[in-house]
Chains A and B, each alone.
Chain A
Amino acid sequence: MNIEFIDIVQSLIDGVLYGSTYALIGLGFTLIFGAMEKLNMAYAASSIGGAYVGLGVSVLLSLPLYAIFLIGPIGGGLLSVLVYICCFRYLPSNNHLAALMASIGGLFFIDEIISHETDGSPLDFPELGIFSEAYFEIEFSDMFLGFRGDLIFVMFASFLAMLMLMYLLYRTRLGLATRAVSQQPVAAQLCGISIHQTNSITFILAGVLGGIAGCLAAASVGVISPLLVLPLTVKGLIVTVIGGLGSIRGAIIAGLLVGGLESVFLLLRGVNERDIYVFLLLFVFLVFRPNGFFGAEIDRD
């Protein structure tokens, strides 16, 4: 099929909009890395797990569908703190590899639990009501550019989450404690800040955010399945690295960038080559700009 310029623009729009789900997952990765300087590989799994909890509880108690979007984040928060306890809390704080491996174990453990509980079947996930029905079209030289209403909503949610996180980190005592623990854990402890309490709260916050991300990602696909876990983990990690480990605005920008480029490469080169270019981008950043877009922000004193 002939590819026209408008197809490329449309793909870019589709990808940037869908990239907002990557951005949300990237935000969670970056929040935990910013606080502990450790990667929580089980993050996307607990996010999707939260969405499953929301769906399961809502169906079980016959609650209205919007309840999923309230219960999901709570489920995400609980799963996240469970991951913290199992994979981080009791491991030596200076052994980053142990925490990384433990969280990879957590990722597969949560993934398997979901597979066993659902028999691996995809489940219908409620879409975002009027937003999912909304589809905007703009005429562009006798052709139309389309915008999905639900993905526009997800994008706004990402920006809102970013603003809230920045407020929390830079305008509240909790944020001050998190930053203190992140930058100088010993000094923070000497000032009376409990490291584990602060980390637990960070995990809960990230988990709640992940639960929202999981629900929004599943709602934007319209289906939830254990198959969502690995792609979101991989894309979340790429976004975190490209955005700069620990950088909140970097995660948002990188999420949209990765989504957009992925979509354009899919159109131009097909699905079998699409991911090659995304990983190539990751390598380019690792070689030429290892701190990502805003990685300097995580420099420690």
Chain B
Amino acid sequence: MTLTATFLGADWQTVADAFGLGGIYALMAVGIGLVFGVLRLVNFAYGQLVMAGAYALAFAYERGWPVWGGILLCFGVVVVLSVGMDWVVFRPLRTQTPAVMLVATFAVAFLLQSIALLWFGSLGKIAASLSSLNQPWTIGGVHIREISIVAAAVAAACLVVLVLLLARTTVGLQMRAAALDFRTARLLGVRANRVIGSAVLLSGLLAATVAVLMTVQTPLVTPDFALRDTILVLAGVVLGGMNRLVSATLGGFAIGFAAGFLGGALPTNQSQYLPSFLFAAVIVVLLIRPGGLFARGGQQAAERV
């Protein structure tokens, strides 16, 4: 009964929010999935890339930079950090077991968060250059915040560009092959470092995009910016199916949509327990289909180099 009431009671704003959040989470899922595909490494610290981008935006806003200046700085900082992470952390870890890699990226996540805490303090900075997007659009008598639609649209556009990149370009083909069977790809002359570098770069670009979109609705940037979201996206990616980019992205979108919808539709005293419901669902799915909801049955993870 509650669910139908929720459905009927949910307004267009909530639906738009759900699509917006789903889109943002889908982008994060792709960022995580791309790196996982070529490195077989789950980057717990992905949220820290978004955090860094958000701080860059705050930096620019505090100094009164134009919007485009802030966005450029954001992209620059995130890409540099992403590549740096690859050099310092991912490369030495490539020969380790998945468990070690998981704990290592967990450590890096914490390290970056605590560096931010040290550097910027816990009070937070404001990044409100694009706050105008919080204004509502009126469509057919219904009010919807611009950002919800913009986020969904930007996410969709990015995904389309990515699909084209992966399907039509040589680099994309190499990344897809490397994700399936890295060793054989190298035998054919595919340069490991180039493929990994491309994945890391793309992953960074996506994180920067997410930072820009997220600061609109959450202009207060703190060291744990996007931490909650990263955890949910990771859960969503595992839920959808880590091994393939499509299923990982669907998983990320699904959990974002669910979180956005339920967050808006549920009354507060129930929405407090939202993380519990989401994670309980994730655990249940993992027990029934450890490969993920959207994964093909019997999908084997291809060998890493």
Question: Is chain B a partner of chain A in the same complex?
Answer: no
Query: CB within 8 Å of A: which residues of B?
Result: none
Query: CB within 8 Å of B: which residues of A?
Result: none
